[in-house]
Amino acid sequence: MRRQLVLIGFALGVLLWLAYRPAEAQQPGYIGSSKCARCHGAKYESYRQTWHARILRPATDEAVLGDFASTDPDLSFSRDDLAYVVGGQFSQRYLTEIDGELYVLPAQWNVVGSEWVAFHPDDWRERPYTKYCAGCHTTGFEASSGTWLEEGVQCEACHGPGLDHVALAGDRAHIVNPANLTFDGQTEICGQCHLRGHDPTGEYDFPTHYRPGGALTLDEAFIPTSDPDAFFPDGSSKRHHQEYLDWQLSPHADGVACVFCHVSHSRGETEHQTRFVGNHRCVICHEEKKDLAMHIPYHPLGEMVCTDCHMPTLAESSEAEYNFDFHSHTFWPPDPRVTIQYGGQEVMPNACNLCHTDESPEWAAQALGLEIETVSLQPTPTAPRPPTPVPTATPFLGLLEEDLVQAPARGSSLLLGLATGLGALAVVVALILVVQRQRRSEEGEA
Ligand code: HEC
Ligand code: HEC
Ligand code: HEC
Ligand code: HEC
Ligand code: HEC
Ligand code: HEC
Ligand code: HEC
Ligand code: HEC
């Protein structure tokens, strides 16, 4: 009898372990996105199509886009050197393994433009991937060991470690739902990667201790760079992956989170996982600007969209002659006077002259009816005015502070624990009864 009980206990243990064992590389509390698929299958399938999920992949023929038959002098390595591929939407960089450490090979393939461009050709051996990049392209990264649980930005990068949530059959108290966080908490989840700077040790180019739901205190945990290579004189972004820093300067930092404009679990309605299409992305709130003829009377309407002027492509991703740059996220109205004040379009570009390259900033200022003498060097170019109401009838209702659902109390986890415990007890008792009955009938036969 006792032997059978031990066997039953052992079998139960194995079953539980099989169901909930964390993936190979053991990172505290992380379990891996394939485990989420079991209960959130639809989200998992659509999420896999996003660029987030695919930013870091093994160098399979399907993933590698670069032309390795090219005779471009910047291409100083061969296809065989590749261990991993980073990206593939705008550009692609390649990792090689040397003495157990990953390094970014010294040329990138620009997808737009189809050409090789040098990338840190002189110091690439001094820039290990685990210190310069990995925290923003992987999930469950552990700085102390330089290892990660999963390649790519996966579920737990935004929802935090999910081991307990899975083990407790979906207990809400053990997973972060960004919609239940404060406004700052929501955007910090995105901010952990969409920024630029160093951790306090200066060793890592990403925050190493941040977990979703915790605080991304930029002053303490992460020091944003003020490098003039990364910022224009008015403080807006010159380089890519700085959307959060731009956004913090923007009027939307007071009430429009990344997740209002961007969806998280699918490719979205248009490029870049946007929730809405075209001008609807903006006029859903800025109703009064719907009639562009009223808003920009000085301009032929043609194909003009809000983003042409309010989100110009100012942030560079590499030194290339063509434009595949990233959209500014300050949303500031173009102000050609700021360009004049800081010394021209090269130093401080404005949206008007990005298209009107044959014209001067003075021309643009004149077209806008602006007085050139009254230049203000304040980065925020706006005077106080009545606030634009944020609509309530939107698909994302977790936006407004007053709408926020409070994070579930611990009680739910206790109840669930109790229920699970009782369930398990019932199963064990049932098994014992079955075994005893069998024994009794065996004894009866004998
Ligand atoms: C065993 C099934 C199961 C697995 C596996 C699972 N979940 Fe869940 N999850 C649930 C259930 C059930 C709920 C709804 C709970 C409720 O409404 O009380 C839920 C809710 C959630 C929520 C919303 C929580 C809230 O407070 O609104 C998030 C976010 C979530 N899961 C993410 C994940 C992630 C990420 C993974 C993988 C690490 C995962 N889930 C794995 C069952 C599961
Ligand atoms: C880039 C960040 C991000 C990633 C990665 C991510 N989510 Fe979410 N998730 C969110 C946000 C933000 C919300 C809040 C509601 C919303 O915006 O959709 C959310 C909400 C949820 C919810 C609550 C139900 C709902 O629809 O509101 C579940 C369940 C969930 N996510 C599961 C997953 C699973 C499973 C994965 C991996 C396949 C995943 N998430 C990956 C950001 C993310
Ligand atoms: C762990 C790091 C990380 C987190 C967290 C993260 N991102 Fe990203 N994000 C990336 C990387 C890396 C890419 C580049 C993917 C690519 O283009 O290959 C990216 C790309 C994007 C894109 C462009 C997608 C496209 O199809 O072009 C959007 C939009 C975006 N992120 C928004 C968000 C939002 C909103 C959040 C928060 C809910 C968030 N990200 C959280 C790292 C992250
Ligand atoms: C602080 C976080 C962070 C760090 C550090 C970081 N990246 Fe990224 N990376 C991102 C984000 C976010 C994006 C997408 C959004 C953007 O570029 O504006 C991105 C985009 C990319 C892309 C373009 C992806 C595509 O599909 O076109 C490549 C390639 C890339 N990163 C490589 C690297 C390499 C190599 C390093 C290290 C030298 C690195 N990144 C360091 C966050 C980071
Ligand atoms: C008011 C709406 C809005 C908000 C808020 C917003 N974005 Fe965007 N974002 C957009 C639009 C629109 C695009 C696409 C522009 C296009 O393709 O024409 C975009 C593009 C992007 C891209 C793709 C690369 C690029 O710039 O072209 C990334 C990455 C991104 N956003 C990240 C973020 C992050 C992170 C936040 C929060 C810190 C954020 N966004 C907040 C509207 C918004
Ligand atoms: C040709 C460039 C251009 C286009 C296109 C454009 N804007 Fe503007 N926008 C400006 C300029 C310049 C200003 C500052 C002068 C002013 O207030 O009219 C501005 C100001 C604004 C303001 C603040 C104005 C205020 O009332 O204080 C908002 C909000 C705005 N635009 C939204 C939009 C929306 C939404 C769209 C798309 C439907 C759009 N803009 C399209 C150039 C443009
Ligand atoms: C996305 C590109 C784009 C942006 C940004 C842009 N324009 Fe234009 N603009 C055009 C095009 C295209 C025309 C039409 C040219 C034509 O029909 O000859 C035009 C025409 C004009 C015209 C009338 C025709 C002319 O050339 O005299 C004026 C004035 C003008 N723009 C001013 C501005 C100002 C001021 C801004 C910034 C607030 C601006 N534009 C931003 C593309 C742009
Ligand atoms: C969820 C609603 C919402 C969406 C979507 C939205 N905005 Fe806003 N926007 C606001 C709010 C709220 C403010 C702050 C208004 C205030 O302070 O008066 C604001 C402010 C602005 C301002 C500055 C106005 C000023 O007076 O300084 C500009 C410019 C602007 N938004 C442009 C855009 C553009 C361009 C888009 C689309 C890419 C967009 N907004 C999408 C709600 C939104």
222 close to 197: Cβ distance less than 8 angstroms: yes
pLDDT, tens digit (0-9, with 9 covering 90-100), for 103-112? 999 999 999 8
Q: CB atoms < 10 A from the CB of 315, how many? A: 21
User: Mean pLDDT over residues 210-232, rounded?
Assistant: 85
pLDDT, tens digit (0-9, with 9 covering 90-100), for 77-136? 999 999 999 999 999 999 999 999 999 999 999 998 899 999 999 999 999 999 999 999
- The percent of residues in the chain predicted with pLDDT above 70, rounded, is 79
| Separation of CA 256 and ligand 5 centre (Å) | 12
Q: Is 252 in the pocket of ligand 8 (CB under 6 A)?
A: yes
Relative to the alpha carbon of 368, which ligand is closest?
7
The pLDDT, as a whole number, for residue 23 is 44
The pLDDT, as a whole number, for residue 439 is 79
Residue matched to tokens 């659509």: 46
| Separation of CA 445 and ligand 4 centre (Å) | 73
Q: Is the dihedral of CA 283, 284, 285, 290 positive or negative?
A: positive
65 close to 111: Cβ distance less than 8 angstroms: yes
Relative to the alpha carbon of 278, which ligand is closest?
5
Buried b (16+ CB within 10 A) or exposed e, 109-142: bbbebebbbbbbeeebeeebbbbbbbbbbbbbbb
Query: Which of 297, 317, 143, 162 has the alpha carbon at shortest distance from 230?
Result: 317
The type of residue at 291 is: D
Query: Which of 314, 313, 293, 320 has the alpha carbon at shortest distance from 304?
Result: 293
Q: Is the pLDDT of residue 401 over 70?
A: no
| Ligand 3 atom closest to 264 (CA) | 38
Question: Whose Cα sits closest to atom 33 in ligand 7?
Answer: 352
Indicate the range of 54-68, 104-118, 206-220 predicted with least confidence.
Answer: 206-220
pLDDT, tens digit (0-9, with 9 covering 90-100), for 240-289? 999 999 999 999 999 999 999 999 999 988 889 999 999 999 999 999 99
What's the CA gap between 23 and 149, in Å, rounded?
Answer: 7
pLDDT, tens digit (0-9, with 9 covering 90-100), for 130-150? 999 999 999 999 999 999 999
> Residue 395 burial by CB count (10 A; 0-12/13-18/19+): exposed, middle or buried?
exposed
User: Mean pLDDT over residues 172-187, rounded?
Assistant: 95
Q: Is the pLDDT of residue 389 over 80?
A: no
| Separation of CA 299 and ligand 2 centre (Å) | 41
Tell me which residues have their CB closer than 6 angstroms to ligand 4.
51, 86-93, 104, 132-133, 136, 193-196, 205-206, 240-241, 243, 326
What's the CA gap between 136 and 436, in Å, rounded?
Answer: 56
289 close to 283: Cβ distance less than 8 angstroms: yes
127 close to 103: Cβ distance less than 8 angstroms: yes
Which two structure tokens, joined as six digits, stand for 240? 């890519």
Which two structure tokens, joined as six digits, stand for 30? 């992380």
Instruction: Give the gyration radius of the chain's Cα atoms.
Output: 27
359 close to 353: Cβ distance less than 8 angstroms: yes
| Separation of CA 409 and ligand 7 centre (Å) | 55
Which two structure tokens, joined as six digits, stand for 23? 């993936």
What's the CA gap between 190 and 288, in Å, rounded?
Answer: 29
- pLDDT higher at 61 or 303: 61
Which two structure tokens, joined as six digits, stand for 258? 């990344």
Q: Is 261 in the pocket of ligand 2 (CB under 6 A)?
A: no
Q: For 108, how many CA atoms within 13 A lie in the half-sphere containing its CB?
A: 20
Q: CB atoms < 10 A from the CB of 339, how many? A: 28
Q: Is the dihedral of CA 413, 414, 419, 423 positive or negative?
A: positive
What's the CA gap between 189 and 169, in Å, rounded?
Answer: 24
Confidence of residue 444 (pLDDT cuts 50, 70, 90): low
